[in-house]
Amino acid sequence: MSSETRWARRTGSVIGEAAGEGAQCTGPPPRPRRADLQHCAPVPRRDRETFPRDPVKTPASLQTLIDDGVIDEVLRPLKSGKEAAVYVVRSGDDVRCAKVYKDMAQRSFKQRVQYQEGRKSRGSREARAVATGSKYGRRQQEAEWKNTEVDALYRLREAGVRVPEPHGYFHGVLLMELVTDSEGFSAPRLGEVELAAEQARAFHATLVRDVVRMLCCGLIHGDLSEYNVLVGPDGPVIIDFPQVVSAGGNNAARAMLLRDVNNLTASLGRWAPELLDTWYGEEMWALFEAGDLQPDTQLTGRFTPDLRRVDLDSVRDAINDARELALIRQQGREAQDED
Ligand SMILES: Nc1ncnc2c1ncn2[C@@H]1O[C@H](COP(=O)(O)OP(=O)(O)O)[C@@H](O)[C@H]1O
Ligand SMILES: [Mg+2]
């Protein structure tokens, strides 16, 4: 592996699954010990390897894909969260990733309303139905929520953002590239690897550039953190887009963008502390608002707020939005812990 892509898997209680998505980063992580690595390594063998496996119980939605000839086999479950369950599947000679969305009843309605603000419904009938909250409207909203991720993946690939290559959306299942590490294991998340300072700086630059490209498409991830970035052999890959936010039509867009960038900066700042003094989110938003942001705009990370034009209402709104989102996420984590 080249020095540019050198990193080690890092596991343990601080950044492990138990911390939950959206958890705040506190202090430097402990050095990984060999025993931790062995204990926590999530995928001990290559996905392509053929070896006797415990039979995997195939969920109904994936069985439909097998029956339709879209995939051939479910190899193993990868992860099951509150919103979706992810599986490794085989389509012919290709090993892919299938994300099966869970039903609406299991997700926070309030949270979705906030994220969906500013998204365009497909037609006026649909928009009216969603607004009235009728049964048809809820079904419509459910479909939109599920479609959003695949739409975003196609759009972002096109814009040059490093996201998994989508292979279609069938019966509530998103089929996409399985992101792997250089040895063929499913890729670790950003919070699970140990990085050299130089590597952390390079990852930060790549991710900031990808966030800019997204913003130039009018999109903000909305839940970007070390839990939704995988580390492949060529660098970071952003995943998990059902909550993607419209940059132009959502009142909380700025707060969400700043939170996304701050999460990345806080994570990578553990390895390269000078990143903690940068202001990329603020800088890119100011350029975006002024209509001056381009996918290749060179950012400096420096930002001086214009104190003559402080709009107290929007500051208060942003604080309240961030507070409310933090609360919703906390409730989500608590509900997940109870499951
Ligand atoms: N394309 C992919 N390649 C490899 N692993 C993936 C891929 N998509 C998701 N995963 C794994 O599944 C986990 C959950 O997927 P994600 O899209 O973040 O859904 P959610 O967080 O809503 O459960 C990720 O943290 C990652 O470990
Ligand atoms: Mg996720």
Domain definitions of the chain by residue range: 50-338
- Give residues whose Cβ lies within 5 Å of ion ligand 2: 228, 240
Residue 280 has pLDDT above 80, yes or no: yes
Distance of CA 315 to the CA centre of its chain: 26
Among residues 317, 228, 304, 296, the alpha carbon closest in space to that of 267 is found at 228
Give CA 263 to chain center in angstroms. 12
Quick one: which atom of ligand 1 is closest to the CA of 187? 4
From the options 1.20.120, 1.10.10, 1.10.510, 1.10.3470, give the CATH code of 50-338.
Answer: 1.10.510
311 is catalytic: no
Instruction: Dump pLDDT digits (tens) for 139-190.
Output: 777 777 778 999 999 999 999 999 999 999 999 999 999 999 999 999 999 9
Which member of 47, 240, 260, 321 is catalytic?
Answer: 240
Cα(313) to centroid of ligand 2, in Å?
32
Confirm if 47 and 186 have CB atoms less than 8 A apart: yes
Report which ligand 1 atom has the smallest distance to the Cα of 42. 27
Ligand 1 binding pocket (C-beta < 6 A) is 78-79, 81, 83-84, 86, 97, 99, 164, 176-179, 186-187, 189, 227-228, 230, 239-240
Query: Collapsing DSSP states into helix, strand and coil, what is residue 50?
Result: coil
Give the Cα separation of 141 and 158 in Å (integer): 25
Residue 244: pLDDT above 80? yes
User: What is the total residue count of the chain?
Assistant: 339
User: What's the sign of the alpha-carbon dihedral 234, 239, 241, 243?
Assistant: negative
**Measured distance CA(278)–CA(88) in Å, rounded:** 38
Distance 130 CA to ligand 2 centre (A): 26
Phi and psi torsions of 322, nearest 5°: -65, -40
* Confidence bin at 37 (pLDDT 50/70/90): very low
Nearest-ligand number for the alpha carbon of 101: 1
Separation of alpha carbons 165 and 63, rounded Å = 22
| pLDDT value, residue 127 | 61
State how far the Cα of 124 lies from the Cα of 204, in Å rounded to an integer: 41
Alpha-helix runs per DSSP H in 41-116:
60-67, 109-116
Catalytic, 36? Answer no
Please, how many CA atoms are within 13 Å of residue 131, restricted to the half-sphere of its CB? 10
Categorize the per-residue pLDDT at 233 as very low, low, confident or very high, splitting at 50, 70 and 90. Answer: very high
Report the separation in Å between the CA atom of 86 and the middle of ligand 1, taken as the mean of its atom positions.
Answer: 6
